[in-house]
């Protein structure tokens, strides 16, 4: 007879459960163990590494300590790489860790070794947990690590695909909007780690024909508070209005704040932008590539809603290619423009010039306030 744990559905997906718990642990400033074959490393998020944690690890007999950093951060620090690297930590020095992982003017002060598979997986774990992509790793005696949560490299690397496969609708209801009174919100669980996603069905789109669709990544500052630093809020409301005035459509509101970096890292990037960095250089200084977002789960949401062909409202070629790669028929793409402001014009130019976004500044100028 199956145990109660197996009967309640935990055992068949033990790896995914371990990953969910590991994400919660690192977000709560606690250590986890990552296993790769017979090797074990203890991992602590660098943003949480303080003198108290350093003392605990030292007392536990930590050895082979290193600070693992992603390639964009290493490149900014004068150690060009295309893969993550590990900086040796002869001493568990919290001040040095903070300097090397966060300070924009920091330079590499020691040799950089290639990251091991377990160390590279540590960065993926931190990315999924939406904390700074910098990890302190070390080895400690087995008995000293007893009680720490263990997650395997395979658990970490397979988690995103498992989240897409488990995507499911958990609630839906009509929510009339200003200018779009016939609107339904459909909430999905899954897609991105431990977060819900929302499909907003505007009007009654004909699913037998190409449906107007927008993949909109959540932007707290722009969507809710009207930030002048981006065009997100304008794009959100303009898309819903255009769908309502036409034949309807579906806007996917995806929990991917800060191009997938999370709100805390977005604010760190904004602080760097205030010092003169452009949006992509600020992200790179924190260890992020141009864009961390994935859109495979967005395509899965559309398929669950019965959509197979789309007309995409976007300026981002990555979204178009992602939907095509996921098997949807993209029959057309249309631009979505916000208002240019003194605060966002450099941001828009950076998206055009560095990420290939389709942004026509003559068309934007026509939308500028008088």
Based on the residue annotation, tell me whether 50 is a catalytic residue of this protein: no
Query: Residue 335 in contact with residue 294, Cβ under 8 Å?
Result: no
| Catalytic residue (one of 160, 293, 311, 333) | 293
| Catalytic residue (one of 247, 278, 289, 291) | 291
Backbone phi and psi for residue 356, each to the nearest 5 degrees, phi listed first: 75, 20
Which tokens go with 300? 């899965």
CA 123, 124, 130 angle in degrees (round to 5)?
90
Residue 204 neighbours by CB under 8 Å, 6+ apart: 182, 248
CA 317, 321, 325 angle in degrees (round to 5)?
170
Based on the residue annotation, tell me whether 291 is a catalytic residue of this protein: yes
User: Which residues belong to the active site?
Assistant: 291, 293
């Amino acid at each position: 007879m199956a145990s109660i744990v197996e009967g309640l559905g935990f055992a068949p997906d033990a790896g995914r459960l371990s990953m969910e718990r590991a994400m919660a642990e690192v977000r709560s400033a606690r250590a986890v163990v990552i296993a790769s074959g017979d090797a074990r490393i203890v991992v602590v998020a660098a943003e949480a590494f303080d003198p108290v944690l350093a003392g605990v690890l030292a007392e536990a007999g930590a050895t082979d300590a290193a600070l693992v950093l992603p390639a964009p951060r290493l490149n900014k620090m004068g150690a060009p790489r295309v893969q993550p690297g590990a900086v040796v930590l002869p001493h568990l020095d919290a001040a040095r860790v903070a300097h090397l992982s966060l300070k924009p003017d920091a330079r590499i002060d020691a040799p950089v070794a290639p990251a091991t598979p377990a160390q590279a997986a540590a960065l993926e774990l931190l990315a999924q947990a939406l904390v700074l992509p910098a990890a302190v790793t070390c080895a400690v005696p087995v008995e000293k690590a007893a009680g720490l949560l263990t997650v395997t490299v395979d658990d970490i690397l397979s988690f995103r695909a498992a989240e897409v496969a488990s995507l499911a609708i958990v609630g839906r209801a009509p929510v009339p909007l200003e200018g779009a009174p016939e609107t339904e919100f459909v909430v999905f669980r899954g897609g991105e780690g431990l977060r819900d996603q929302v499909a907003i069905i505007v009007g009654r789109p004909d699913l037998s024909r190409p449906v107007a669709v927008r993949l909109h990544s959540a932007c707290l500052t722009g969507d809710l508070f009207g930030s002048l630093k981006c065009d997100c809020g304008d794009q959100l409301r303009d898309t819903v209005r255009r769908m309502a005035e036409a034949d309807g459509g579906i806007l996917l509101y995806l929990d991917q704040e800060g191009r997938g970096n999370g709100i805390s890292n977005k604010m760190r990037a904004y602080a760097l932008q205030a010092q003169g960095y452009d949006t992509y250089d600020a992200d790179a200084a924190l260890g992020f590539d141009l864009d961390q977002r994935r859109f495979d789960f967005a395509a899965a949401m559309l398929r669950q809603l019965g959509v197979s062909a789309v007309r995409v409202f976007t300026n981002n070629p990555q979204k178009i290619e992602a939907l095509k790669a996921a098997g949807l028929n993209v029959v057309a793409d249309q631009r979505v423009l916000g208002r240019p402001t003194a605060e966002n014009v450099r941001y828009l130019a950076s998206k055009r010039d560095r990420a290939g976004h389709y942004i026509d500044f003559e068309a934007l100028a026509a939308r500028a306030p008088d």
